[in-house]
């Protein structure tokens, strides 16, 4: 998960209000319930020590969601009387609302609530062209169309020589149209940086387009088993998106496990546990942060200074590093601030684990390193 969008949160010194709102339920009473929710979250933040201006800014922002039809929810990050960032969520929070007042923005839930949220390019293929659509957890948008050659497009049943010649021309038209659709899909994938191409249509049409895709794009393409007229297509597209997200997490977790198992004398490629991660973050060595939300280390308290690389397990360690100011913060949020500053990504490995799997990384926090 690219965390660059969080950068505005670290351009100001805290404390911060972090609020997660579930908007997945819509009933006749929803506006009244959200108005009451807005008042309740303002009181909760005030009880944790938030200033009046920030409480009011959050209350207003939640109140404005009274008539929101967002399918999942919204995160709100407020500071000094202003909501600085309010991303829409790709899945609903487990609790109806969560409110935290802390020295750092509480961003770690975003790893699950936004996740990789793969952008899919859905290509509705026919022999005469295709419609292209971009799909995320928040909905879909038109991505263009391909109008191929329209004649000759349909074969006949005759065995006459001239008719066989005509049928060959039809086959050529289909092939040319498939090639044109593949070119447009590859161009759209590059332009939009979509993660996955889903081909929808008749078996032969899907296969023809896939065969014409460039090799680097073909590896990102899958074929839907249901056609555009099937009521099961929507569910299948979401399943394909979820499968892609799980496979991404499995790949990153596999890289971590392989790097963790190397001979330490050969240079550790991965670390886990808060002390080792704090040291790696101070030295800007984290290449990718892995978070297991069920691990106990995620909410462990560490100490932070004003800069993202000023963090320590003990408060006295910050003074040794020359930092005069120190605040207690959650380990996951402190490490996420650190990797945002260095441009490293982060991922929740929860989707890659079975329900009865042991906590990996140990404690719930780990990292692949840029160097040993």
Give per-residue pLDDT as tens, 205-238.
889 899 989 998 988 899 999 988 788 998 999 8
**What is the rounded distance in angstroms from the CA atom of residue 215 to the CA atom of residue 207?**
14
- CA-CA distance, 17 to 14, in Å (whole number)? 9
Report pLDDT digits (tens) over 16-49. 999 999 998 888 888 899 999 999 999 999 999 9
> Which of 149-163 are b and which e, b meaning 16 or more Cβ less than 10 Å from the residue's Cβ?
eeebeeeeeeeeeee
| pLDDT, the chain, mean | 86
**What pTM was computed for the model?**
0.82
Using a pLDDT cut of 90, give the percent of the chain over it.
49
Q: Lowest-pLDDT range, 92-96, 103-107, 164-168, 300-304? A: 164-168
The answer, yes or no, to whether residue 158 has pLDDT greater than 50, is: no
pLDDT of residue 170: 54
Query: How far is it, in rounded angstroms, from Cα 168 to Cα 343?
Result: 54
pLDDT for the residue numbered 37: 93
Choose between 291 and 268: higher pLDDT.
291
pLDDT for 166? 41
Quick one: pLDDT band at residue 262, thresholds 50, 70, 90? low
How buried is 273 (Cβ within 10 angstroms: 0-12 exposed, 13-18 middle, 19+ buried)?
A: middle
């Amino acid at each position: 998960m690219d965390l660059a969008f969080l950068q505005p949160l670290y351009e100001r010194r805290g404390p911060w209000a972090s609020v997660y709102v579930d908007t997945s339920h819509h009933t006749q009473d929803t506006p009244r319930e959200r108005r009451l929710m807005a008042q309740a979250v303002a009181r909760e933040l005030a009880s944790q020590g938030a200033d009046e201006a920030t409480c009011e800014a959050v209350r207003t922002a939640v109140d404005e969601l009274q008539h929101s039809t967002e399918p999942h929810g919204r995160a709100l990050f407020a500071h000094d009387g202003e909501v600085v960032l309010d991303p829409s969520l790709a899945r609903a929070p487990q609790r109806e609302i969560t409110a935290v007042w802390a020295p750092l923005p509480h961003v770690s839930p975003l790893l699950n609530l936004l996740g990789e949220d793969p952008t899919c390019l859905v290509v509705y293929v026919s022999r005469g062209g295709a419609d292209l659509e971009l799909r995320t957890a928040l909905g879909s948008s038109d991505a263009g169309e391909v109008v191929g050659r329209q004649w000759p497009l349909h074969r006949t049943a005759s065995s006459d020589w001239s008719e066989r010649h005509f049928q060959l021309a039809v086959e050529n038209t289909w092939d040319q149209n498939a090639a044109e659709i593949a070119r447009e899909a590859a161009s759209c994938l590059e332009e939009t940086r979509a993660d996955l191409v889903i081909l929808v249509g008749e078996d032969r049409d899907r296969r023809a387009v896939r065969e014409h895709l460039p090799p680097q794009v073909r590896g990102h393409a899958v074929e839907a088993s249901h056609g555009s007229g099937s009521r099961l297509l929507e569910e299948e597209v979401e399943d394909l998106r979820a499968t892609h997200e799980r496979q991404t997490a499995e790949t990153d977790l596999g890289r971590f496990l392989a790097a963790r198992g190397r001979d330490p004398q050969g240079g550790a490629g991965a670390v886990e546990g808060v002390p080792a991660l704090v040291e790696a973050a101070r030295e800007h060595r984290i290449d990718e942060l892995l978070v297991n939300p069920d691990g106990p280390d995620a909410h462990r308290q560490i100490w932070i200074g004003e800069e993202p690389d000023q963090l320590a397990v003990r408060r006295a360690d910050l003074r040794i590093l020359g930092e005069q100011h120190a605040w207690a913060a959650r380990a996951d949020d402190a490490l996420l601030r650190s990797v945002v500053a260095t441009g490293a990504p982060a991922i929740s490995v929860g989707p890659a684990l079975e329900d009865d799997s042991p906590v990996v990384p140990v404690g719930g926090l780990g990292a692949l390193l840029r160097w040993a």
